């Protein structure tokens, strides 16, 4: 007698499908999703949580938030959904989408900024085993609060948390437990801006005193320590600022006779002002005060202003003071910084090369008729030496200030 194997497969498949339908109907016929599924209501239900981090979408400094994509796996034992597999064609488990017909724990993300109760269960799938083990799997985007501290930007580290707790069921009815002591990073996709340096799970208990007694609620803290990868910030912000600071100091080497001694620092000042305005607008806000980088770029703007003021003073001394005697402070500056420059490439060089400290004695030894041109030339020479000494002095002072401030700045953000 011949038989068709295809008919046998259809018959077996149809029988198994029918058995699964009968099984599910029997399990949920007298099942109430709002009743805690335990035979002894004095016993708590243990819910285990497995959190797998897939990606860090954004660390928002303005909103003080952390956006992540995670896989969430919940599991517990439902004592009302147990069956004998031998009586149902050997069915050991079946999977179905979440449809609110099964009891789920009232777990929430307590530091969520959007909807704390939203765990993505509407798109979740549930696996039910014959011993009553329930496993819920879902992929969800969390938008949680996180105190972003950018005092040391761009070398800052952030400590963020994802907090799981319960709405109403206290610890004597529902216990939360993490399957691992840290977040699962096996499927994590690294980002260009942030690097995870540490992660761990911590338990905490919130205690509430009410008129019905003291209620305890366990809170699971999934800690994430993030470090900013700062190479792009170094190349786009810090290096240009340091270059502009060096160019600003070169102003003191521009001769007064060139006619560019004012236009050069003004160009640097305007460039630095526009650039620092863009940097300040792009810097993240900080809840722990003004960032060190913002303070540093503001200092550079002040240094550029001081340089421009010193340049104006140098030009004033160079063009307006030739016929006036050099004050003692000018002679002292010239002597300290040893800025002496002979302006005459003729045979009279040795004759008019005099020291600044005995200038007044030499002038009285000249005849009035022969000393007019000499006095003017010598006065111009002395004032030029004073201008050179003033430029050298200000360059040295500002250079020391730049070095000290830069070392302090780097020490603060790298510490």
**DSSP assignment of 345-384:** -STTHHHH---GGGHHHHHTTS-TTTSHHHHHHHHHHHHH
Q: Are strands 45-60 and 174-178 parallel, antiparallel or unpaired?
A: parallel
Q: The pTM is what? A: 0.74
Domain ranges of the chain: 27-229, 232-414
385-409 average pLDDT score: 86
Q: Which two tokens stand for residue 66?
A: 């952390």
Farthest-apart Cα atoms in the chain, separation: 148
- CB 392 within 8 Å of CB 341: no
Q: Which of 87-96, 118-127, 210-219, 366-375 tops mean pLDDT?
A: 87-96
Nearest-angstrom CA–CA distance, 177 and 77: 13
316-339 average pLDDT score: 61
Predicted confidence at residue 221, as pLDDT, reads: 94
In what helix (H) or strand (E) does residue 270 lie, and over which residues does it extend?
Answer: helix 263-282
- CATH superfamily name and code, 27-229: Neurotransmitter-gated ion-channel ligand-binding domain (2.70.170.10)
Whether pLDDT at 343 is above 50: no
Asked whether the CA dihedral 382, 384, 386, 388 is positive or negative, the reply is negative
Nearest-angstrom CA–CA distance, 146 and 149: 9
Q: Which residues pair with 224 in a beta bridge?
A: 160, 199
Return the higher-pLDDT residue of 295 and 212: 295
C-alpha distances out from residue 155 to 20, 119, 218, 294, 299, Å: 58, 33, 34, 13, 19
Whole-number mean pLDDT of the chain? Answer: 79
Nearest-angstrom CA–CA distance, 275 and 153: 18
310-323 average pLDDT score: 73
Cα-Cα end-to-end distance for the chain = 87
Q: Which two tokens stand for residue 390?
A: 């003033």
- CB 342 within 8 Å of CB 353: yes
> 12-16, 168-172, 235-239, 308-312: which has the minimum mean pLDDT?
12-16
Q: Which two tokens stand for residue 56?
A: 């860090």
Q: Which two tokens stand for residue 391?
A: 């430029």
Hey, how many other C-beta atoms are within 10 angstroms of the C-beta on 91?
A: 19
Nearest-angstrom CA–CA distance, 252 and 308: 10
Mapped onto helix, strand or coil, the DSSP state of residue 178 is strand
Nearest-angstrom CA–CA distance, 330 and 247: 27
Dihedral-angle region of residue 216 (phi above 0 means left; psi in -120 to 50 means alpha; beta otherwise): beta
Nearest-angstrom CA–CA distance, 409 and 238: 11
**DSSP assignment of 317-329:** HHHH-TTSPPPHH
Over residues 256-282, the pLDDT tens digits come to 777 677 788 888 888 878 877 877 776
Whether pLDDT at 378 is above 60: no
234-255 average pLDDT score: 85
Non-local (6+) Cβ contacts of 35 within 8 A are 103
Predicted confidence at residue 2, as pLDDT, reads: 45
Q: Which two tokens stand for residue 329?
A: 């402070």
Helix, strand, coil percentages, rounded to 5, for the chain: 40, 25, 35
Q: Which residues pair with 226 in a beta bridge?
A: 158, 196
Nearest-angstrom CA–CA distance, 197 and 344: 68
Q: Which residues pair with 93 in a beta bridge?
A: 129
Return the higher-pLDDT residue of 12 and 266: 266
67 burial level (CB within 10 Å; 0-12, 13-18, 19+): middle
């Amino acid at each position: 007698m011949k038989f068709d194997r295809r008919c046998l497969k259809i018959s077996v498949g149809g029988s198994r499908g029918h058995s699964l339908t009968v099984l599910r109907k029997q399990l949920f016929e007298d099942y109430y999703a709002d009743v805690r599924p335990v035979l002894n209501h004095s016993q708590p239900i243990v819910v285990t949580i497995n959190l797998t981090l897939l990606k860090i979408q954004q660390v928002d400094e303005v909103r003080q938030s952390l956006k992540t994509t995670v896989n969430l796996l919940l599991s517990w034992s439902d004592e009302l959904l147990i069956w004998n597999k031998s009586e149902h064609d050997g069915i050991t488990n079946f999977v179905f989408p979440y449809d609110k017909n099964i009891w789920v724990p009232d777990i929430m993300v307590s530091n969520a900024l959007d909807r704390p109760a939203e765990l993505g269960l509407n798109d979740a799938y549930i696996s039910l085993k014959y011993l009553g083990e329930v496993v819920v799997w879902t992929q969800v985007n969390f938008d949680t609060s996180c105190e972003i501290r950018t005092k040391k930007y761009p070398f800052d580290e952030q400590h963020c948390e994802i907090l799981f707790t319960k709405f109403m069921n206290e610890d004597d009815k529902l216990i939360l437990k993490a399957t691992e002591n840290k977040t699962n990073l096996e499927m994590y996709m690294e980002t260009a801006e942030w690097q995870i340096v540490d992660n761990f799970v911590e338990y905490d208990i919130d205690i509430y005193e009410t008129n019905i007694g003291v209620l305890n609620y366990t809170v699971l803290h999934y800690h994430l320590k993030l470090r900013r990868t700062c190479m792009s910030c170094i190349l786009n912000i810090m290096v240009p600022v340091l270059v502009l600071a060096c160019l600003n100091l070169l102003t003191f080497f521009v001769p007064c006779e060139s006619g560019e001694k004012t236009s050069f620092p003004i160009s640097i000042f305007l460039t630095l002002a526009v650039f620092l305005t863009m940097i300040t607008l792009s810097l993240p806000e900080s809840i722990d005060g003004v960032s060190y980088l913002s303070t540093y770029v503001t200092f550079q703007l002040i240094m550029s202003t001081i340089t421009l003021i010193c340049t104006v003073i140098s030009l004033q001394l160079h063009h307006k003071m030739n016929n006036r005697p050099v004050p003692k402070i000018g002679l002292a500056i010239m002597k300290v910084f040893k800025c002496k420059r002979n302006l005459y490439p003729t045979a009279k060089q040795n004759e008019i090369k005099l020291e600044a400290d005995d200038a007044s004695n030499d002038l009285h030894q000249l005849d009035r008729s022969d000393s007019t041109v000499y006095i003017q030339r010598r006065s111009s020479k002395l004032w030029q030496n004073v201008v050179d000494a003033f430029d050298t002095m200000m360059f040295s002072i500002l250079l020391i200030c730049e070095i000290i401030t830069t070392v302090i700045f780097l020490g603060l953000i790298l510490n």
